[in-house]
């Protein structure tokens, strides 16, 4: 009786400067997981086309995200690091998943609603189908775990729905071909071709909020640069942004309960905890009763201490684009082999004649 081998997959879009939210929600976890798991990390360049087709600097953005991966400590020899568009099997499986997924499922996605705004009719078809490509990214490797920020939870649930529908729709073929794998779903034991992938959303802060508005997530596309700390910000910029971060007039509480209804305070405490590798509770044990005028400089110092080496290393790596392209080429070759092994079976399950 076989079972899925644990495999981690995650991706980041080349749509602008990476920020502290991407770092704490994704990159920091990617680095930690490479010690315990086989990992595949992808720059999802095809996803970046869903918002705007014409990016003058797409290639450079792709190199910049790759440099951020490497500068954060991801080892491209131990793991697979590549860009999505070099492995065509992602797009092939995405098409198949477009035919598995239902339009109603896509219409319910909050990210689609947020990004399409009021003018949904005018959003690209790609933006609507984005989660189907994301499911393909993950399932073309039959990955079992995906480290992501909390904002991606709904897309991961949809990935499971797509896997489950494919497993059900083709259950007879999967069994005939002997391609099924046993897995536990809650109390139940089921058999299927695709795993029901688990999100890994944990840590001291799972959704880093904007520094200007504690009800909005920190995001690359926020028009205000003061809303986020970019991985490439200089020390003075980091200190200035933290100093200007919105807060309330009360001192920090000594217990977690005191952060309820204080989203900005909760955010800054969570950021401190995640950067220092502790919990919000222990941050409050240290800073409870103190004013933001004392806490903010401590947070700025910690953020600079953690982020400045990454920014420096990114600059060093980016000075050698040929090296970055070589990492992506080599990683793509390794990824393609794995993806093609899955697609051979998928084509056979569906009945697509393959050579």
User: Of 146 and 259, which has the nearer Cβ to ligand AQP?
Assistant: 146
Choice from 21, 76, 203, 270 touching ligand AQP (CB under 6 A):
21
* Choices 30-38, 211-219, 244-252, 302-310 (CB under 6 A): range interacting with ligand AQP: 211-219
User: Of 110 and 293, which has the nearer Cβ to ligand AQP?
Assistant: 110
Asked whether 275 and 282 are in contact (CB, 8 A), the reply is no
* Best CA proximity match to 95, nearest among 59, 56, 140: 140
- Provide CB contacts within 8 A for 286, sequence distance 6+: none
Q: Are strands 188-192 and 181-185 parallel, antiparallel or unpaired?
A: antiparallel
Q: Cβ of residue 15: shortest distance to ligand AQP, in angstroms? A: 4
220 is an interface residue for ligand AQP by CB under 6 A: yes
Q: Which two tokens stand for residue 248?
A: 């309330």
Q: How far apart are CA 275 and CA 28, in angstroms?
A: 9
45 is an interface residue for ligand AQP by CB under 6 A: no
55 is an interface residue for ligand AQP by CB under 6 A: no
Which positions from 114 to 153 touch ligand AQP by CB under 6 A, shown as an x/- string?
----------------------------------xx-xx-
26 is an interface residue for ligand AQP by CB under 6 A: yes
Residue 111: HSE in the Cβ half-sphere, 13 Å Cα cutoff: 21
269 is an interface residue for ligand AQP by CB under 6 A: no
Q: Cβ of residue 10: shortest distance to ligand AQP, in angstroms? A: 6
Choice from 221, 257, 322, 353 touching ligand AQP (CB under 6 A):
221
Ramachandran quadrant class, 73 (left: phi over 0; alpha: psi -120 to 50; beta: rest): left
User: Of 116 and 350, which has the nearer Cβ to ligand AQP?
Assistant: 116
SS3 content of the chain, % helix, strand, coil (to 5): 55, 10, 35
> To which H or E segment does residue 107 belong?
helix 103-107
Tell me the site size for ligand AQP, rule CB under 6 A: 19
218 is an interface residue for ligand AQP by CB under 6 A: yes
Subset of 151-180 contacting ligand AQP (CB under 6 A): 151-152
Given 29, 217, 306, 338, which residue is catalytic? 217
> To which H or E segment does residue 301 belong?
helix 292-318
Q: What angle do CA 94, 347, 339 make, to 5 degrees?
A: 60
Q: Are strands 181-185 and 38-43 parallel, antiparallel or unpaired?
A: unpaired
Q: Cβ of residue 209: shortest distance to ligand AQP, in angstroms? A: 7
Task: Indicate which residues carry an active-site annotation.
Answer: 115, 217, 220
Report the interface residues with ligand AQP, using CB under 6 A.
12-13, 15, 21-22, 24-26, 148-149, 151-152, 207-208, 217-221
């Amino acid at each position: 009786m076989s079972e899925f081998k644990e495999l981690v997959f995650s991706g980041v879009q080349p749509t602008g400067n990476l920020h502290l939210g991407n770092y704490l929600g994704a990159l920091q976890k990617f680095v930690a997981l490479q010690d315990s798991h086989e990992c595949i990390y992808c720059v999802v360049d095809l996803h970046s086309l869903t918002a705007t087709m014409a990016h003058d600097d797409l290639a450079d953005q792709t190199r910049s995200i790759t440099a951020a991966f490497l500068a954060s400590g991801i080892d491209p020899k131990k793991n697979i690091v590549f860009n999505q568009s070099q492995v065509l099997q992602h797009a092939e499986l995405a098409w198949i998943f477009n035919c598995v997924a239902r339009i109603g499922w896509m219409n319910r996605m909050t990210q689609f609603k947020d990004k399409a705004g009021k003018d949904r009719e005018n959003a690209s078809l790609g933006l609507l189908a984005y989660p189907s490509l994301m499911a393909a990214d993950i399932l073309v490797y039959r990955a079992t775990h995906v480290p992501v920020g909390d904002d991606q939870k709904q897309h991961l649930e949809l990935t499971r729905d797509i896997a489950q529908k494919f497993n059900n729709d083709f259950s007879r073929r999967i069994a005939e071909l002997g391609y099924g794998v046993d897995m536990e779903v809650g109390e139940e034991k089921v058999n299927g071709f695709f795993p029901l992938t688990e999100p890994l959303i944990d840590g001291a802060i799972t959704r880093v909020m904007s520094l200007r508005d504690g009800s909005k997530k920190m995001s690359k596309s926020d028009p205000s640069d003061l809303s986020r700390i970019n991985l490439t910000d200089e020390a003075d910029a980091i200190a200035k942004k933290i100093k200007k971060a919105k807060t309330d007039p009360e001192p920090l509480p000594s217990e977690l309960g005191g952060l309820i209804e204080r989203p900005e305070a909760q955010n800054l405490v969570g950021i401190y905890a995640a950067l220092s590798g502790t919990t919000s509770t222990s941050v409050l044990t240290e800073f409870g009763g103190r004013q933001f005028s004392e806490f903010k400089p401590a947070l700025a110092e910690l953020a600079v201490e953690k982020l400045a080496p990454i920014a420096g290393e990114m600059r060093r790596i980016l000075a050698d684009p040929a090296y970055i392209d070589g990492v992506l080429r080599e990683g793509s070759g390794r990824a393609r082999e794995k993806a093609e092994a899955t697609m051979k079976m998928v084509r056979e399950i569906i009945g697509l004649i393959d050579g």
